[in-house]
């Protein structure tokens, strides 16, 4: 009796039975798709670590944050190996515009900038001194929607939010800024990061259409009482929107 040839599922690249549709694999079967931002040697080590977990699947690597735009859009979680303090402001800008969840592996202890990255949208921090299994667990938890932070980071971020809420009662600009959605804040950060880039490039970086970006900008202009991109850039500069030192 001849054995039927298996077909390859386009979603997970695993063989599917002959009586199964190639695109019918569930997310559980595909696993968590993980992209890496790390040097060649560190990326190889992280791939070997992820290979020990049946739930994780490597989908691509970029060597630096500057090359992260080349990562596949299908990634569920991006793991960034962060070892240079000078990269921290760039990290804050990156997480503000990046759609997938971002997790940092680092030995840095600069709590102020790491906290700013969490407030901007970073989903987790794993220290290199942690056991390797911690990173695997953190990736899965972040993919499930949780934040992976130690108790100190959680406390500092919570206190920042409390102070921010209290300041809204006294400052009308803070009140306006508080009406922005996360996606609108991401759009502002993307625009502030490079003012010379056309809107269609910004939309591509955010994985949205130009029409959707225009809708975001219309809403932002109305909420912040500005008229155009130049006014928005000036407003963002005055109020530290889209920067590591965002205070409002």
In angstroms, the CA 38 to CA 235 distance is: 35
Q: How far does the chain reach from its first CA to its final CA, in angstroms?
A: 71
Give pLDDT, residue 192: 82
What per-residue confidence (pLDDT) applies to 15?
42
pLDDT for 6 equals: 40
Q: 132-143 and 40-50 are packed helices; what angle lies between their axes, rounded to 10 degrees?
A: 80
Q: Are 193 and 97 in contact (CB under 8 A)?
A: yes
Give the span between the Cα atoms of 65 and 98, in whole angstroms.
Answer: 11
Q: Are the C-beta atoms of residues 5 and 48 closer than 8 Å to each other?
A: no
Element (H, E) at 34: strand 32-37
- Which domains occur in the chain, in start order? 24-156 (3.40.50.2300), 171-239 (1.10.10.10)
Locate tokens 């900038």: which residue? Answer: 113
Work out the angle between the directed axes of helices 88-97 and 182-193 (0-180°, nearest 10).
Answer: 130
**In the block, residue with structure tokens 């040697």:** 41
Distance CA(66)–CA(72), nearest Å, equals 14
Q: Could you count the other beta carbons within 10 Å of the beta carbon of residue 149?
A: 20
Specify which residues 8 forms β-bridges with.
Answer: 15
pLDDT of residue 103: 93
The answer for 145, left when phi > 0, alpha when psi is -120 to 50, beta otherwise, is left
Full pLDDT tens readout for the chain, 248 residues? 444 444 444 444 444 444 444 334 444 456 899 999 999 999 999 999 999 999 999 999 999 888 887 787 789 999 999 877 666 777 777 777 766 799 999 988 777 778 878 877 889 999 999 999 999 999 999 999 998 988 877 777 777 666 666 655 667 777 788 889 888 988 898 888 877 788 888 888 888 999 999 999 999 999 998 988 888 888 888 887 865 444 44
* Distance between CA atoms of residues 173 and 238, nearest Å: 10
Q: 25 near 50, Cβ under 8 Å?
A: no
Q: Find all residues with CB under 8 Å of 6, minimum gap 6, and list them.
A: 15, 16, 17, 18
Stated pTM of the model: 0.57
Q: What was the pLDDT predicted at 25?
A: 44
> Which residues have a Cβ under 8 Å from the Cβ of 77 and sit 6 or more positions away?
32, 33, 34, 35, 100, 101, 102, 103, 123, 139, 142, 143
- Please count the residues of the chain: 248
């Amino acid at each position: 009796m001849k054995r039927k040839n298996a077909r390859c599922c386009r979603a997970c690249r695993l063989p599917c039975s002959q009586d199964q549709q190639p695109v019918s694999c569930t997310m559980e079967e595909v696993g968590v798709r993980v992209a890496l931002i790390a040097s060649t040697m560190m990326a190889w080590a992280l791939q070997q670590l992820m290979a020990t977990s049946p739930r994780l699947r490597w989908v691509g690597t970029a060597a630096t944050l500057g090359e992260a735009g080349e990562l596949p859009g299908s990634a569920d979680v991006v793991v960034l190996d962060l070892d240079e303090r000078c990269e921290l402001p760039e990290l804050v800008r990156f997480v503000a515009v990046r759609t997938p969840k971002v997790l940092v592996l680092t030995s840095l202890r600069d709590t102020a900038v790491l906290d700013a990255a969490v407030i901007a949208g970073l989903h987790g921090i794993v220290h290199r001194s942690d056991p390797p299994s911690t990173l695997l667990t953190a990736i899965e938890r972040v993919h499930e929607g949780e934040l992976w932070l130690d108790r100190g980071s959680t406390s500092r971020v919570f206190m920042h939010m409390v102070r921010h809420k209290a300041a809204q009662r006294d400052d009308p600009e803070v009140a306006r800024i508080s009406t922005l959605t996360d996606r609108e804040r991401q759009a502002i950060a993307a625009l502030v990061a490079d003012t010379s880039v056309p809107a269609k490039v910004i939309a591509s970086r955010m994985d949205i259409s130009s029409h959707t970006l225009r809708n975001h900008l219309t809403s932002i202009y109305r909420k912040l009482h500005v008229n155009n991109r130049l006014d928005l850039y000036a407003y963002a500069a005055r109020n530290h929107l889209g920067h590591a030192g965002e205070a409002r």
